Structure 1
C-alpha cells in the first residue's frame, strides 16, 4: 500500500493529459478552407500584379523631341507646340505640349514650361500690358521674368526643359526645375 500511496501523492497536483482528436467535420473544414484560400490566392495574385505592375516599373527618361529650327529662335520668347509619346500605365497617347523657347543673354537657347507654379494655369509672354516683357498668368496675377524667375504670387520659378541643338534643330528633353534662376 505504500507504493500505491506514493504514486498517488506524485500525481496529486497534476491533471491527467487529455488527448484531443480532430473530428471528421473539423478535418473537412480545414481541408476545404485551405483549398479555397489557395484557389482564391491563385486568382487574386495575377489581378493584383496586373494593377500594380506599371507602378513598379522604373520611370523612363523623356525622349528628345525635335521642336523647331534653331534659326527661328530669337531673344524674344516664342511659343512652340510639339507632341510627345506618353505611356501612362497601360494607356499610350501623344499629347500636344507647349514650350516658350528663346535665347538668353548668354546666347544659349532655353525652353520654359508655360504652366504657372501657383495653380497650374497657362502663362503667356507679354500677357498683360501692366507687366511688359514678362510671363503673366491671367488666373491670379502671377508674373515671371524672361528667365522664368517668379516675381509675385507663384512660390517657384517656371520649370525648364533640357535643351540640345543638333543639325540646326532645337530638341527638348526632360522637364525639371529651373536652373537659370
Structure 2
C-alpha cells in the first residue's frame, strides 16, 4: 500500500490531537465531581444508632415522661446535631417511647394538657387525641397512631433508636 492513501492532513492531525487532549482534560475534571456526587449513595448503610436519653429503667413509670435528647446527623458531607423529644412510659413489662409529632399535621402533642381528657395525648392544632399507648382516638383528626422509637435497655439506662411508623 502506498503512503498517499494513509496521509493525515495537518488540519485533521490538529483536530484529532485537540479532541483527544480536550476529552482527557474533561474526564479529569468530571471524575472527581461524579465521585463526590455518588459517594454518599455508595457508602454502606450502617445499623441504626441508639442514643442515651439520660433516663434509667427504674425511673420509667406508667405516666408518660417527656425526654429531650440530641442525635448527630450526617447529611452527605455535613454533620449536625439535632434536638429530638420522646414520650417514654412503661406499658406492662415493656418500655414504650412515642414520638411527640402528631400524625395529622405534624404539630407537637403533649400529655394531659386537655382539661376534658387529662389522661390522653392532645394535639392543640386540630384537637387530635391519642390514648396513653399512642393509638389515635376514633373521631379525631389523626388517622394513625403516634410513631414509636426503637427502645433498648443497656446497663439499666434507656437508649432510643430510629422512629418507626405504626398502623
User: TM bucket by the smaller chain?
Assistant: 0.7 to 0.9
From the CA coordinates, give the structure whose radius of gyration is larger: 1
List per-residue Cα deviations over 1:150-176 (Å, max 9, x = no partner): 233223321111112233221212221
> Of 91, 94, 112, which aligns to 1:108?
94
> Of 11, 15, 24, which aligns to 1:38?
24
Higher RCO (CA 8 Å, separation ≥ 6 residues): 2
Q: How far did 1:20 drift? A: 10
Counterpart of 1:81?
68
CA contact (8 A) 1:61 1:174 kept: no
Task: Indicate whether 1:139 and 2:128 are aligned.
Answer: no
CA contact (8 A) 1:116 1:154 kept: yes
Counterpart of 1:98?
85
| TM-score, L = length of structure 1 | 0.76
Find the aligned partners of 1:44 and 1:107 in 2 and give their Cα distance: 57
Alignment RMSD: 2.3
Question: Counterparts of 1:98-177 in structure 2 under 5 Å?
Answer: 98-104=85-91, 106-151=92-137, 152-177=140-165
Select the structure that is richer in strand.
Answer: 2
Find the aligned partners of 1:127 and 1:25 in 2 and give their Cα distance: 83
Structure 1 residues 122 and 58, CA gap change in structure 2 (3 angstroms): farther
Provide the secondary structure at the position in 2 that maps to 1:150: coil
| TM-score, L = length of structure 2 | 0.82
Q: How far did 1:100 drift? A: 0.2
Counting matched residue pairs gives 160
Structure 1 residues 58 and 31, CA gap change in structure 2 (3 angstroms): same
Find the aligned partners of 1:61 and 1:127 in 2 and give their Cα distance: 36
